[in-house]
Structure 1
Amino acid sequence: MAAYAKLHWWSNDGVRLHARDYPGDPARVPLVCLHGLTRNARDFAAFAEAHSGERRVIAVDFRGRGESGYAKDAMSYVPLTYVQDVEALLADQGIGRFAAVGTSLGGIVTMLLAGPAKGRLAGALLNDIGPEIEAAGLQRIRGYVGRGSSCPTWLHAARTIEENNRDVYPGWGLEQWLGMAKRLYRLSSGGRIVLDYDLRIAEPFRVPGAEAGPDMWGALAGLADMPVLLVRGERSDLLGEPAMARMAATLPNAERVTVAEVGHAPMLDEPVADAAIRRWLARLD
């Protein structure tokens, strides 16, 4: 496992936030990795193993996840607040130009960063997310987010995840399900295996009209002048192929890649994704 330091900084509203900081060549554009809704910085451990050393990789824990603090106000668990938290990280670390790697929710935050970070955002990788979210995927997310889950052992947690995601990763075996369990869950003080996020992140989903949000097609257009990599899982229920095609048409410097036999979302270590990422990284510098 690649070595990393722990970064801590404070949000504008007083939440102590955390990220993993993997060292790399300071002459190259660093990567800021942003995870999905119920995930955390551990999702990018393999990515950092593959790409740190050559360049700095910072894997963020959004507020309410992993080693970041929980927010007092549950209604701050929204993309625009995560953008402010990332901006606070960049200011704290004195980071000028950077590139963002965003999976799902992290991709939404990446698109929204194009505004406040204009001139500093050097490139973007959007993993299985776009300005339009498929209704089936949104319904699936509403069905599980914020529902507590605990297991007596890691094996039980792995089996639970497999039951809910075998259609997403049909080729996975027990070792991979255990790996996901250890990224998604943590060991509680009571000895149970529990989800590693604040269950209140679901509260903004319950507010009528909250899903409307900002103009995401407008946000996407902010990425037009930089290298962009669009990654989609062939089985994705969140990013449809028509939306992917429109995104590619909107962004003149974008490459699009589809990962076969994978749903939402690719792990980014699949051979086709890894090769595309290396081409994208070469364009950043």
Structure 2
Amino acid sequence: MGERRNYSDGYWWSKDGLRLHYREYPGADDVPPVLCFPGLTRNARDYESLATRLSGERRVVLVEFRGRGESAFAKDPMSYVPLTYLQDIEALLDELAIKRFVAVGTSLGGIVTMLLAATDGAKLAGAVLNDVGPQLEAAGLARIRTYVGKAVWHPTWMHAARAVAEGNADVYPDYTIEDWLRMAKRLYRVNSSGRIVLDYDMKIAEPFRVPGNEAGPDMWPTIDALKAKPVLVVRGERSDILSAVTAEKMLARLPQGELVTVKDVGHAPTLDEPEVVAAIERLLAKAAT
């Protein structure tokens, strides 16, 4: 017998006719649910651990952006941009009749969270911005451009794990082969030919390779839009995307903000680190109503 699932699959439609996917974990309906938005090449599986911890006490919805996981690929690759993801999330909020929620966003997901704050901030009860801010470091963006959208495949999960380890050794220097294997199973899927391939549309790279399309125009006003909210900023000490200087500037503009820096980790923390788990609990306590 297989492992019993503690979530259900759900789908919604984008304005341009794409069938998009989310996972939903059940929880209490008297507190704002938690919506989790993944990074550029990631999917709902990134948040399994967080959702399992919170499930029961909180309803948790793990979103898969267009072109990732079980969400449909976009007909127009130039729709793989934050403003379109924002429109997709707004359609999901309408579909699920969610009036108020806590957003957890890693990297790209954090950019979408910041845009939500600026456009529909009344719905946000709080936010976790994981290794992302209104100013992104050029070195990190250049690194991401070297690999995003490059189709690779592996014959076995161990081959995939070793490839992930080679590409991310500086990000998670303490990982064991078991950790890399778990990470590979979040990043890859088995295709119809039995090959282990990356679980996203390679065309997501097309707009990302255009300088400026990673986030858009000046994003600092989106931080100001979060001033009245409890906000947790998580930063990897080794991050090449969110600098320590930018993180401190964010904190200075967030009266209810908290900064947690995860030692010896790059872009991005997994949110399973003990200090981050405790900080998320503190944020959720502030966003209880």
TM (normalized to structure 2)? 0.96
Matches within 5 A, 1:79-98: 79-98=82-101
Contact 1:2 1:48 survives alignment (8 Å)? no
Bigger drift between 111-120 and 200-209 goes to: 200-209
Residue 68 (structure 1) aligned with residue 107 (structure 2): no
1:36-80 per-residue CA deviation (whole Å, 9 max, x = no partner) reads 000000000001111111010000000000000000000000001
Out of 264, 274, 280, the position equivalent to 1:261 is 264
1:143-199 per-residue CA deviation (whole Å, 9 max, x = no partner) reads 010001100000000000000001111111111101110000000100100000000
Structure 1 distance, partners of 2:98, 2:138, is 37
Matches within 5 A, 1:58-207: 58-207=61-210
Residue 57 (structure 1) aligned with residue 49 (structure 2): no
C-alpha distance 97-206 of structure 1, shift in aligned 2 (>3 A) = same
Residue 117 of structure 1 deviates from its aligned partner by 1.9
Structure 2 distance, partners of 1:177, 1:210, is 30
Structure 2 distance, partners of 1:261, 1:49, is 25
Residue 221 of structure 1 deviates from its aligned partner by 1.1
Residue 3 (structure 1) aligned with residue 33 (structure 2): no
* Aligned residue number for residue 36 of structure 2: 33
Structure 2 distance, partners of 1:99, 1:76, is 25
Structure 2's unaligned 5+ residue stretches are none
Residue 209 of structure 1 deviates from its aligned partner by 4.8
Contact 1:19 1:58 survives alignment (8 Å)? yes
* Aligned residue number for residue 232 of structure 2: 229
Contact 1:152 1:192 survives alignment (8 Å)? yes
Q: Over aligned residue pairs, what C-alpha RMSD do you find?
A: 1.1
C-alpha distance 212-7 of structure 1, shift in aligned 2 (>3 A) = closer
Out of 264, 273, 276, the position equivalent to 2:276 is 273
Structure 2 distance, partners of 1:49, 1:180, is 17
Structure 1 distance, partners of 2:41, 2:209, is 16
TM (normalized to structure 1)? 0.98
Structure 2 distance, partners of 1:55, 1:260, is 28
C-alpha distance 18-150 of structure 1, shift in aligned 2 (>3 A) = same
Question: Which amino acid is 1:6 matched to?
Answer: D
Structure 2 distance, partners of 1:3, 1:117, is 30
Identity %: 62
Structure 1 distance, partners of 2:241, 2:215, is 16
Contact 1:10 1:17 survives alignment (8 Å)? yes
* Aligned residue number for residue 21 of structure 1: 24
Contact 1:2 1:22 survives alignment (8 Å)? no
Residue 217 (structure 1) aligned with residue 220 (structure 2): yes
Structure 1 distance, partners of 2:24, 2:179, is 24
Structure 1 distance, partners of 2:219, 2:112, is 10
Aligned length: 285
Structure 1 distance, partners of 2:186, 2:38, is 11
Question: Which amino acid is 2:199 matched to?
Answer: D
Structure 1 distance, partners of 2:234, 2:215, is 24
Contact 1:33 1:100 survives alignment (8 Å)? yes
Structure 2 distance, partners of 1:165, 1:209, is 25
Question: Which amino acid is 1:224 matched to?
Answer: K
Bigger drift between 227-236 and 211-220 goes to: 211-220
Structure 1 distance, partners of 2:53, 2:268, is 18
Aligned partner of residue 282 in structure 2, secondary structure: helix
1:99-148 per-residue CA deviation (whole Å, 9 max, x = no partner) reads 10000000000000012322111110000000111111000011010001
Residue 207 of structure 1 deviates from its aligned partner by 3.3
Aligned partner of residue 161 in structure 2, secondary structure: helix
Bigger drift between 188-197 and 208-217 goes to: 208-217
Residue 220 of structure 1 deviates from its aligned partner by 1.5
